[in-house]
Amino acid sequence: MEKLTNKEEEIMQILWKLEKAFVKDVLAEITDEKPHYNTLSTIIRNLEDKGFVSYIAYGKTHQYFPIVSKEDYKKRFMTVAIDNYFNNSYKNVVSFFAKEEKISVEDLKEIIALIEKDQ
């Protein structure tokens, strides 16, 4: 599975949320600087070329939908990030977030409780 650009990920987030959408629907969901309609259409076609979306044709217009689930992409993205930046160590991931104060002791206790519950 190919890594997406930031803009492609933004568009995929919208498509995952909407489930099916025309380019104009995606454009309406973009909250920051809106790209030109043709630019957005090109990005969505690139997502199709990369195997992330497909479409249903209605004459000359297309309704797009994701064919890669958000969960599958998240798993792939996290696996690559952990491999590349944390030496494939989840302990290093948790340690990183603890040092950056992005995770609290209470959060860690909840995580441990969840792990112990599942075992």
pLDDT digits (tens, 9 = 90+) for 9-50: 999 999 999 999 999 999 999 988 899 999 999 999 999 999
User: Is residue 41 located within the same domain as residue 75?
Assistant: no
The pLDDT value recorded for residue 12 is: 97
Rounded average pLDDT over 86-90: 88
3 state DSSP class of 54: strand
The pLDDT value recorded for residue 15 is: 98
- Residue that is written with structure tokens 């995952």 in the block: 16
- Cβ neighbours of residue 15 under 8 Å, at least 6 residues apart? 21, 26, 47, 53, 64, 65, 66
The pLDDT value recorded for residue 104 is: 84
**How many angstroms separate the CA atoms of 44 and 54, rounded?**
9
User: Is residue 74 located within the same domain as residue 111?
Assistant: yes
**Domain that includes residue 27, residue range:** 6-66
pLDDT of 119 higher than 90? no
User: Is residue 10 located within the same domain as residue 57?
Assistant: yes
Q: What is the pTM of this model?
A: 0.78
Residue 1: inside a domain: no
Question: Could you give the number of structural domains in the chain?
Answer: 2
Beta bridge partners of 81: none
User: Is residue 37 located within the same domain as residue 50?
Assistant: yes
User: Is residue 24 located within the same domain as residue 62?
Assistant: yes
